[in-house]
């Protein structure tokens, strides 16, 4: 039984590897020159740069099933965050997980969050820890903003913490994303660590694809231009070079716009983009391994991540690597994006001579623009997402578009697609 998988991102890799291990003949084709989709890393002038700022939550159930986490040499961010707002920076942390006494003291004294909001956050973490994932995703839905207000969080807490923190995760500082996404991500962060592999996020795709590559089941630089239908059954694909590939079933493991183009099927509409300015300095902009959130109302840079402080493998000795994450994709030229990011960072570190000097001499390594980083997830969208099985016989879908926008969802979709194929087409 031959299965053709189009797309070498996380979902396609999980689906292909699962079927390969089950004894199916698998061919995975990928239009680009490498595996991973958006979960890729490049080595640039001795630095490791991911395709935009990304992290992995170790509590992801699918990641625990699919990945050898130990082999990835994971390095963790410190719990909580540093909030930059109004010319000052304050530390917020998770008292259930942070073992740094200075961080706990700083968080206790932080005025950016009231004692009542700190207590609400602690109660929410404890409640979500006790709930099963299926239970917290069940029932009616509402926006994350409405959920936070219903939980009693103050506008100040929402504006200064939740908008930049979860806005960075959802690429939506308005917090109109489904509250089910918020609950799931909050639970994942409270139960595990936020990490990156020391060799970059691309190490995840390398691990998922290793068996397939070794078995000769992967074809890179191979673009599918159209599906081939015979007797009302999808039987293969036409390639950009004019050749054709045939199989017993075809899996589309591509982003939603490409899936819609190839299949003609309804998929989640819209796109949320992101950008990232990668910069290196000779001196650290700040100490520690916490994310820095830009909570100013007119923020351009949403998040600053100290990548080499967290994972030394990201930078050569003597350098400090930062990912300045921006929500959305500007149509301005690269130099303008860099200039705006640097202005924002200078404002955050305005009163610190060492950081200001380091920024003035920063080395700009790359600017990533990712037009389609996620699909929008308004309240109520998830029950209406496509199934792994389609209305076209012989055609299956694998990708976050069947579940939700996250690495966990992509892996879960790959698993479920493989399960569907094994049930429909037993060897």
Condensed to tens digits (0 to 9), the pLDDT of residues 38-78 reads: 999 999 999 999 999 999 999 999 999 999 999 999 999 99
> Residue 183: pLDDT above 80?
yes
**110-114, 169-173, 220-224, range with the lowest pLDDT:** 110-114
Average the pLDDT over 331-357 and give the result. 95
What pLDDT, on a 0 to 100 scale, did the predictor assign at position 93? Answer: 77
Average the pLDDT over 135-159 and give the result. 96
Q: Distance between CA 186 and CA 125 in Å, rounded?
A: 7
Domain boundaries, the chain: 2-37+201-270+378-424, 74-196+272-374
Pick 74-196+272-374's CATH classification: 3.30.56.10, 1.10.1520.10, 3.40.718.10, 3.90.660.50.
Answer: 3.90.660.50
Strand order in the sheet with 81-85: 88-92, 81-85, 291-294, 301-305, 320-327, 272-281, 363-374
**Residues of 141-175 as b/e, b for ≥16 C-beta within 10 angstroms?**
bebbbebbeeeebeeebbbbbbbbbbbbbbbbbeb
CB contact at 8 A, 227 and 250: yes
Q: 2-37+201-270+378-424 and 74-196+272-374 share one CATH topology? A: no
Write down the H helix ranges in 25-79: 61-66
Q: Burial level of 107, CB count in 10 A (0-12/13-18/19+)?
A: buried
Average the pLDDT over 72-98 and give the result. 88
Per-residue pLDDT of 231-245, as tens digits, reads 999 999 999 999 999
> Residue 223: pLDDT above 80?
yes
Q: Distance between CA 368 and CA 293 in Å, rounded?
A: 19
Beta bridge partners of 2: 25
What pLDDT, on a 0 to 100 scale, did the predictor assign at position 96? Answer: 61
Distances (CA, A) of 259 to 7, 208, 400: 10, 22, 11
Q: Distance between CA 397 and CA 416 in Å, rounded?
A: 10
CB contact at 8 A, 276 and 326: yes
> Residue 250: pLDDT above 70?
yes
Tokens of 215: 């078995």
Average pLDDT, the chain: 95
Just give the CATH number of 2-37+201-270+378-424. Answer: 3.50.50.60
What pLDDT, on a 0 to 100 scale, did the predictor assign at position 110? Answer: 59
Per-residue pLDDT of 287-341, as tens digits, reads 999 999 999 999 999 999 999 999 999 999 999 999 999 999 988 999 999 999 9
**Residues of 243-262 as b/e, b for ≥16 C-beta within 10 angstroms?**
eebebbbbbbbbbbbbbbeb
> Residue 137: pLDDT above 60?
yes
> What global pTM score does this model have?
0.94
Strands 244-246 and 41-44: unpaired
What pLDDT, on a 0 to 100 scale, did the predictor assign at position 111? Answer: 65
What pLDDT, on a 0 to 100 scale, did the predictor assign at position 106? Answer: 52
What pLDDT, on a 0 to 100 scale, did the predictor assign at position 252? Answer: 98
> Residue 98: pLDDT above 70?
no
């Amino acid at each position: 039984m031959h299965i053709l998988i189009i797309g070498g991102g996380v979902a396609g890799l999980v689906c292909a590897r699962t079927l390969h291990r089950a004894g199916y003949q698998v061919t995975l084709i990928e239009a680009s020159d490498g595996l991973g989709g958006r979960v890729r890393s490049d080595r640039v002038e001795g630095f490791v740069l991911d395709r935009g700022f990304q992290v992995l939550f170790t509590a992801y159930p699918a990641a625990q099933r699919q990945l050898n986490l130990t082999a990835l040499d994971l390095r963790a961010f410190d719990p909580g965050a540093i909030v930059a707002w109004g010319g000052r920076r304050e530390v917020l942390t998770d008292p259930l997980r942070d073992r740094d006494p200075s961080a706990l003291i700083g968080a206790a004294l932080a005025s950016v969050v009231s004692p009542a909001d700190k207590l609400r956050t602690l109660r929410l973490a404890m409640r979500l820890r006790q709930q099963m994932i299926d239970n917290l995703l069940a029932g009616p839905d509402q926006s994350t903003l409405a959920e936070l207000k219903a939980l009693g969080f103050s506008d100040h807490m929402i504006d200064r913490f939740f908008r930049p923190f979860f806005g960075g995760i959802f690429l939506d500082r308005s917090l109109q994303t489904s509250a089910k996404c918020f609950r799931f991500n909050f639970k994942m962060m409270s139960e595990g660590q936020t990490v990156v592999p020391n060799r970059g996020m691309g190490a995840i795709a390398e691990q998922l694809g290793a068996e397939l590559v070794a078995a000769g089941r992967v074809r890179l630089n191979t673009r599918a231009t159209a599906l081939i239908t015979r007797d009302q059954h999808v039987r293969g694909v036409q390639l950009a070079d004019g050749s054709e590939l045939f199989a017993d079933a075809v899996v589309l493991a591509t982003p939603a716009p490409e899936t819609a183009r190839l299949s003609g099927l309804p998929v989640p509409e819209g796109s949320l983009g992101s950008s990232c300015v990668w910069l290196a300095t000779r001196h650290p902009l700040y100490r520690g391994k916490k994310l820095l959130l830009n909570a100013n109302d007119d923020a351009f840079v949403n998040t600053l991540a100290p990548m080499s402080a967290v994972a030394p493998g990201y930078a050569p000795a003597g350098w400090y690597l930062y990912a300045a994450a921006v929500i959305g994709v500007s149509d301005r030229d690269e130099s303008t994006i860099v200039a705006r990011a640097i202005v924002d960072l200078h404002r955050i570190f305005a009163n610190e001579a060492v950081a200001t000097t380091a920024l003035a001499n920063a080395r700009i390594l790359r600017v990533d623009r990712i037009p389609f980083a996620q699909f929008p997830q308004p309240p109520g969208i998830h029950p209406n997402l496509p199934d792994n099985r389609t209305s076209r016989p012989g055609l299956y879908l694998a990708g976050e578009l069947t579940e939700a926008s996250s690495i966990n969802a992509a892996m879960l979709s790959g698993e479920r697609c493989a399960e569907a194929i094994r049930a429909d087409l037993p060897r």
